[in-house]
Amino acid sequence: MTAIDFRTAPEHYRHWQLSIEGSIATLGLDVDADGGLAPGYELKLNSYDLGVDIELNDVIQRLRFEHPEVHAVIITSAKERVFCAGANIGMLRTASHAHKVNFCKFTNETRLALEDASAHSGQRYLCAINGPCAGGGYELALAADHLILLDDGASAVSLPEIPLLAVLPGTGGLTRLVDKRSVRRDRADFFCTVEEGVRGKRALDWRLVDAVVPRSKWQEGVAARAAEMAATSDRPADAAGIALSPLERTINSERIEYSHVGCVLDRDLRAAHITVRAPANAPPSDLAAIHSAGAAFWPLAVARELEDLIFHLRFNENQIGTWVMRTAGDSALVAATAAALAAHADDWLVREITLYLKRTLKRLDLSARSIFAFIEPGSCFTGTLLELALAADRSYMLDGAFEGDNRAPATIAMTSANNGLYPMANGLSRLQSRFLGDAEALTGAEKEIGRQLDAQEAEALGLVTFAPDDIDWEDETRIALEERAAFSPDALTGMEASLRFAGPETMESKIFSRLTAWQNWIFQRPNAVGETGTLNLYGSGKRPEFDKERV
């Protein structure tokens, strides 16, 4: 199977049209029916597969970094008489179970990145629904701040997965209905069980959309609302954006290499050994120099490279079940770069870089892989890079040095970046999640911010799991990886997802912890994927045969 490549750019888009006029951008969905990521299905009626969402993810990032002048974004259909039919049924029918689940997760993350832009970047989203809008199409609309529905008697919104496909809306639709839009539960129940959906005044009265506009006033109404949203933005009107230049990487059967991130695959242990390298030089001396560095600025480059590696490993290496995080380089340079970001936190570009790091670290949390951190001499688990260890399911820190190694023993260091700059999906920092219910331990750790901690200190503070010496290091880490490779991947995924997000629930954590878990299960049930299940019979004219037992 050909590896899926997540790198793209506007000149390569097949499914989205981007136009910018002043402070308003328009994203027109114009899916190429013959442009599916894999053979065997057509992307009819603006339905989408992973390839469509790869482009959407890319353009959301580019709007944030390359177009600071854009304050509002209109998402609409560039086709006549249809907005979006949702995820392509042929794709779902032919895709592997792993691909379907990873597809739902990537799509969820893309919708959340859109909401993150609205909430934190001053780039507000409006969805102009100019045709039937079903399933994943409506879920895309739900991610926007404001929904306008064309009142033409044909345009409607629907979540028809239950009556049509015997599955669930896979990208947060149910959660956004009640948590984000406060749709009444009884109305949501009815809405989710009718194939034809809801249109016009009822859609407005039930809070399924924010406005309905007749065709005669459509263009004027959409433009006026977009202008109102743009006026609320704090993004600069006259700043120059930075180009997100193509990511350079090399891949062979055992190794993936970027400028600052490397990965070596151990197929016997089903492990990926990932190393994130510190910057080689001091950070730019002032804000102008940060802007001049652009996509080459170390924090932004690392965020992009690590994100791309996560995508690659999720989709193209699903036999690799454990990711081992390491760092290498000068901790002082990592700390200096973090200080440079903190000193210019109010700048639009620095804000975007920080938010990108936050989203990338969340992708790590949400990956269905075991994550270990190995902290050895030469490591630089400081500040932002310490988040890699705090995100791990277990961390091992060498107490002392290896025999014959003249490098200083490993240390770790917290900075202000670890104190809430990169919240998890549950809304808490990784330190807060780690010490949930133990205020004394959290306070004790926070008192050590800014200090280099050796292995014994880190273990005593609860910042690492184990601190073996050089005699035990090889055996303990080897046994940990061998043990992980021997367990059921399904059981591990369930355990890790249950343990990682302690504390309060948010809309975001509900979407991932509940919806994708049930979607995972339902997509394996015969009612959906069996010989007489909905996905196999969809479009054939035959009715599915359901096992009616409730389990």
**Boundary residue ending a domain (493, 511, 542):** 493
pLDDT tens-digit readout, 490-512: 999 989 989 999 999 999 999 98
CA 454 to CA 447: how far, in whole Å? 15
Inside any domain, residue 501: no
- 59 lies in the same domain as 112: yes
Kind plus residue range of the DSSP H or E element containing 63: helix 50-66
Maximum CA extent, the chain: 80
Q: What is the CATH number of the domain that holds 361?
A: 3.90.226.10
Residue with tokens 């001091």: 282
Mark whether 298 and 175 lie in a shared domain. Answer: no
Domain boundary among 198, 230, 262: 230
8 A C-beta contact, residue 364 and residue 371: yes
Answer whether residue 545 is part of any domain: no
Domain that holds residue 326: 252-493
Q: Are residues 295 and 407 in the same domain?
A: yes
Together in a domain, 291 and 162: no
Q: What are the backbone dihedrals phi and psi of residue 47, each rounded to the nearest 5 degrees, phi first?
A: -75, 160
Residue 440 lies in a domain: yes
Does some domain include residue 136?
Answer: yes
Same domain, 109 and 148: yes
What is the count of structural domains for the chain? 2
Q: Which token pair is 522?
A: 């339902």
Q: Residue 234 and residue 231: Cα distance in Å, rounded?
A: 8
Beta bridge partners of 396: 374, 466
Beta bridge partners of residue 1, listed in sequence order: none
Q: Are residues 207 and 257 in the same domain?
A: no
* Pair 264, 115 in one domain: no
Rg (CA), the chain: 24
User: Does residue 532 belong to any structural domain of this protein?
Assistant: no
Q: Please report whether residue 500 resides in a domain.
A: no
Give pLDDT tens digits for 218-270: 999 999 999 999 999 999 999 999 999 999 999 999 999 999 999 999 999 99
Q: Do residues 306 and 404 share a domain?
A: yes
Instruction: Evaluate whether residue 508 is within a structural domain.
Output: no
Strand partners, 275: 262, 326
The token pair at 399 is 């107490």
pLDDT band of 1, cuts 50, 70, 90: low
Same domain, 224 and 256: no
Distance between CA atoms of 102 and 87, rounded to whole angstroms? 13
**Residue 514 lies inside a defined structural domain of this protein:** no
Residue 459 is predicted with a pLDDT of 98
The residue-averaged pLDDT of 267-293 equals 97
pLDDT at 215 over 80: yes
- 202 plus 262 within the same structural domain: no
Share of the chain above pLDDT 70, in %: 100
Domain end call among 493, 520, 538: 493
